[in-house]
Structure 1
Amino acid sequence: MSATKPTDIAMLEEMAVFAQVVDSGGFSAAARKLGMAVPSVSRHVSRLEAHLGERLLLRSTRSHVLTEIGQQVYTACQALLSQAREVHAIADRFSARPAGLLRVCAPIVFGQTWLAPRLPGFLDAHPEVRLQLTLADRMVDLIDEGVDVTLRIAPALAPGLASRVLCPLAYVLVASPAYLAAHGTPAQPEDLAAHRCIYLGYGRFGRQLQLHQGEQTAEVALADGVQVNNSAAILAMVEAGGGIGLVPDFTARATLHAGQVQTVLPQWRIGEPYTGNVHIAYTPGRHLALKVRAFIDYLVAAAAADTLPPPSA
């Protein structure tokens, strides 16, 4: 008998049917177990024998006896089926509840000030999830870097990712009470020109501000003071009395609540480019891992509840 060389995948069904024939004690019983016709079961076994170039079963009208190689092939098939059952068991465990390693990436300051304080609640609710958090101020390729969820701050995301808006983002002007006592508190947007201002000053961010109050709009240029590419560092300078800082609201929230800094021109809303949204982005697909779905739902609920104290003037 000459052997053909099929792919391994093409042999899997034949191997499973052959093992069932042996387990059931015959073709008819195996056919009933598998929900197949007896001739179809016989063809599967014959194809496997043809693939291997060896007789696996000695057939008679009353019995079917394994050959020597048939016994070894049967043992190997049983091991294969056991592995297949383990694969199903793994899938069942993951579909039953969130579990496994969850890889998350977030911008540095947002991750430190907003995300990190909320992570213990998620881990307590889902103890079978292990978390790997990476903080980085760059675009992360979810597929190439093996990331499950990334948080991005932008007005909108480019096509190609599945995403949800976590929360809107606003920037605020803040200063320490000591600085304002020494240098005065701006009453109108144009007063900012007389103060040392600290701002991001990179990419789309710059000195030009557009502020809105009701139907009023004011456009001002901040004094050419200090540019810092990290909002936590800006806030640290502000707390030390270094000037008026322009930072995201999530950066300043805790220090505002503690009274270490206070808002400047709180009645004015800062417009583009100092606006946007925090997005939760993940790889699109029909089958979203339960750990990813649970994490997204948890963050959306946390943002809606706004569980940290709100900023105060």
Structure 2
Amino acid sequence: MEMLREMAIFAQVVDSGRFSAAARQLGLTTSAVSRHVARLEAHLGGRLLHRTTRALALTELGEQVHAACARMLSTAREIHLLAGTYSARPNGVIRVTAPVVFGQVWLAPKLPAFLALYPEVDVRLTLVDRTVDLIEEGADVAIRIARELAPGLAARPLCGMRYVLVASPGYLAEHGAPATPAALRERPCMHLDYGPFGNQWTLRRGGEKVAVSVASRLTINNSGAILAAVEARGGIGLLPDFTARAALAAGRVVQLLPDWEFDEPYAGAVHAVYLPGRHLALKVRAFIDYLANTGSGPADLTPS
């Protein structure tokens, strides 16, 4: 059975093109991925990859083994998806992952109504701010926020999202609101600090584009925590619209520069991601259909 895991990891290395990229996809360290591939080579008695500092190349044996591994993984996915496809109605457990704050404010409130519609389905929701490998971690559906999704997966769009600048009324009463993106350079700004996020912001308004580098004494890896710091008069925060919506509606924060849109990496859409194949379990299809039908476009940020 261990060899099957090594074959799956080897296939991911080849598909990703690098050990480090495969490690990120699998949630492992690069050294662990390398050890798995080395053990598979030892099992098979031959080298599978030519390693250079810039790229990987398959040996003749590696090409044949990779083709066999791809067939194995395809079969495994088919077997995984067969469960529940032949029953008369959705049933069983759905394992779902989602980003932490999005799961709290958008997804979790929708789940009671889904469970009422499908009394024979249970949901196991895991909230985590990293990319989850569906096969490795046994997830049926992953909610992902991105402009581009990784290849090899099926995806269904759920809703739009955008990032917005906010500040507390108390902060604005003391310091005033920035009138232009360039004025942000002189203000304390808070933002996410993981993955591609950072203090280099590109804003667009029609055909106008402005790039600014903001001062960031406080960065946090959770948008809910950034909102809390903004409400405590900590400065200006850059937040996903779903995080800011309730606070905006309640008047606890105010949106700044509403005519400007943020470009990458602060841009994207929300998708339900799942394994492709001919046999999609009824419980998974019902869950994704439900989310797509109850989703919406970008949040209406006008307080009502």
Using structure 1 for the length normalisation, give the TM-score. Answer: 0.67
1:311 alignment partner, one of 286, 289, 301: 301
User: Is the Cα contact below 8 Å between 2:97 and 2:141 reproduced in 1?
Assistant: yes
1:225 alignment partner, one of 199, 217, 227: 217
Larger Rg: 1 or 2?
1
- Paired with 1:265 and 1:273, the residues of 2 have a C-alpha distance of 18
2:168 alignment partner, one of 176, 179, 198: 176
Q: CA deviation at 1:169?
A: 2.4
- Paired with 2:87 and 2:246, the residues of 1 have a C-alpha distance of 38
DSSP-derived class of the 2:137 partner:
coil
User: Is the Cα contact below 8 Å between 1:263 and 1:312 reproduced in 2?
Assistant: no
1:277 aligns with 2:272: no
Task: Compute the RMSD of aligned alpha carbons.
Answer: 1.8
- Residue 278 of structure 1 aligns with an amino acid whose one-letter code is V
1:145 aligns with 2:106: no
1:196 alignment partner, one of 185, 188, 194: 188
User: Is the Cα contact below 8 Å between 1:176 and 1:241 reproduced in 2?
Assistant: yes
1:131 aligns with 2:123: yes
Which structure 1 residue ranges, 5 or more long, are not aligned?
Answer: 1-89
- Paired with 1:219 and 1:127, the residues of 2 have a C-alpha distance of 51
Q: CA deviation at 1:91?
A: 6.0
* Structure 1 residue ranges, 4+ long, deviating more than 2 angstroms after superposition: none
1:213 alignment partner, one of 199, 205, 215: 205
Q: CA deviation at 1:267?
A: 1.1
- Residue 311 of structure 1 aligns with an amino acid whose one-letter code is L
The percentage of counterpart residues that share the same residue type is 58
For residues 204 and 122 of structure 1, do their structure 2 counterparts lie closer, same or farther at Cα, with a shift above 3 Å needed?
A: same
- Residue 90 of structure 2 aligns with an amino acid whose one-letter code is P
DSSP-derived class of the 1:123 partner:
helix
Greater relative contact order (CA < 8 Å, ≥ 6 in sequence): 2
Corresponding residue pairs, total: 221
| Aligned pairs (5 A) from 1:237-276 | 237-276=229-268
- Residue 145 of structure 1 aligns with an amino acid whose one-letter code is E
- Paired with 1:273 and 1:116, the residues of 2 have a C-alpha distance of 26
User: Is the Cα contact below 8 Å between 1:280 and 1:296 reproduced in 2?
Assistant: yes
Instruction: Indicate the larger mover: 153-162 or 234-243.
Output: 153-162
- Residue 245 of structure 1 aligns with an amino acid whose one-letter code is G
Hey, what does 1:287 align to over in structure 2?
Answer: 279
- Paired with 2:156 and 2:294, the residues of 1 have a C-alpha distance of 14
- Paired with 1:174 and 1:236, the residues of 2 have a C-alpha distance of 11
Q: Deviations over 1:115-172 (max 9, x none)?
A: 1111111111111111110111112121222111111122211111111122222111
DSSP-derived class of the 2:247 partner:
helix
- Paired with 2:127 and 2:192, the residues of 1 have a C-alpha distance of 18
Using structure 2 for the length normalisation, give the TM-score. Answer: 0.69
- Residue 290 of structure 1 aligns with an amino acid whose one-letter code is L
Q: Deviations over 1:43-96 (max 9, x none)?
A: xxxxxxxxxxxxxxxxxxxxxxxxxxxxxxxxxxxxxxxxxxxxxxx968x632
Q: CA deviation at 1:305?
A: 7.4
DSSP-derived class of the 1:173 partner:
strand
User: Is the Cα contact below 8 Å between 1:199 and 1:228 reproduced in 2?
Assistant: yes
User: Is the Cα contact below 8 Å between 1:257 and 1:310 reproduced in 2?
Assistant: no
For residues 257 and 179 of structure 1, do their structure 2 counterparts lie closer, same or farther at Cα, with a shift above 3 Å needed?
A: same
Hey, what does 1:167 align to over in structure 2?
Answer: 159
1:154 aligns with 2:146: yes
- Paired with 1:224 and 1:109, the residues of 2 have a C-alpha distance of 21
- Paired with 1:191 and 1:223, the residues of 2 have a C-alpha distance of 11
- Residue 240 of structure 2 aligns with an amino acid whose one-letter code is P
- Residue 160 of structure 2 aligns with an amino acid whose one-letter code is P
- Paired with 2:168 and 2:184, the residues of 1 have a C-alpha distance of 15
